Amino acid sequence: MKYKNLLVPFDGSEHAVNALEAAIDLADGVEGVTVHVLRVAEAAGAESGLSDYDGFEVYLNRRVNAAKEAMLAELAQANISTDGLVVAVEPSYSPTEGIICYAEDHNVDLIVMGRRGVGALRGMLGSVSYGILHNVDIPVMTVK
């Protein structure tokens, strides 16, 4: 396989679980492939209610730690072992932005993500999937 760094943006939804299983399957038994699982913890300066930098750092850390705990619980619930996976949480004002930054920083060459997510109400594609498809040149595989 030509892809070496697979990124699965993970929001805990059924589609994201299916995407992660697809990525693990693609990487299975292939030398030199890394599967990154990323949760973007939405965090905004305005909503923190804090104006000083130290306070904002504490707020961000709290956000990231809570998101990591939630993600690990969701992975365990889905019976997905984190052995061999890179599990990451990044704070960002938007999931799309956080996913794009992470992909650029980690030489990601394939994104495998859910068609919809936890907010699924109607329609074919969630806003994060839409944002990624419209803003990156990296190949994207969407999974239902």
Query: Which positions lie near ligand ATP, rule CB under 6 A?
Result: 9-11, 13, 15-16, 19, 38-40, 95, 113-114, 116-120, 126-129
Indicate which single residue of 9, 98, 114, 117 sits in contact with Mg ion (rule: CB under 5 A).
117
- Residue 119 as a binder of Mg ion (CB under 5 A): the answer is yes
DSSP state letter for 134: H
What does the block give as tokens for 35? 């599967």
State the greatest distance between any 2 C-alpha atoms of the chain, in Å, as a whole number.
Answer: 49
66 binds, among ligand ATP, Mg ion, none (CB under 5 to 8 A by kind): none
Site string for Mg ion, 25-54 (x = CB under 5 A): ------------------------------
Q: How far is the CB of 51 from ligand ATP (least distance, A)?
A: 26
Q: How far is the CB of 71 from ligand ATP (least distance, A)?
A: 9
Q: Which is nearer to Mg ion, 60 or 131 (CB)?
A: 131
Query: Which residues does 28 contact at the CB level (< 8 Å), separation at least 6?
Result: none
> Alpha carbon 68 to chain centroid distance?
11
SS (H, E, C) 37-85: EEEEEECCHHHHCCCCHHHHHHHHHHHHHHHHHHHHHHHHHCCCCCCCE
Q: Which is nearer to Mg ion, 103 or 128 (CB)?
A: 128
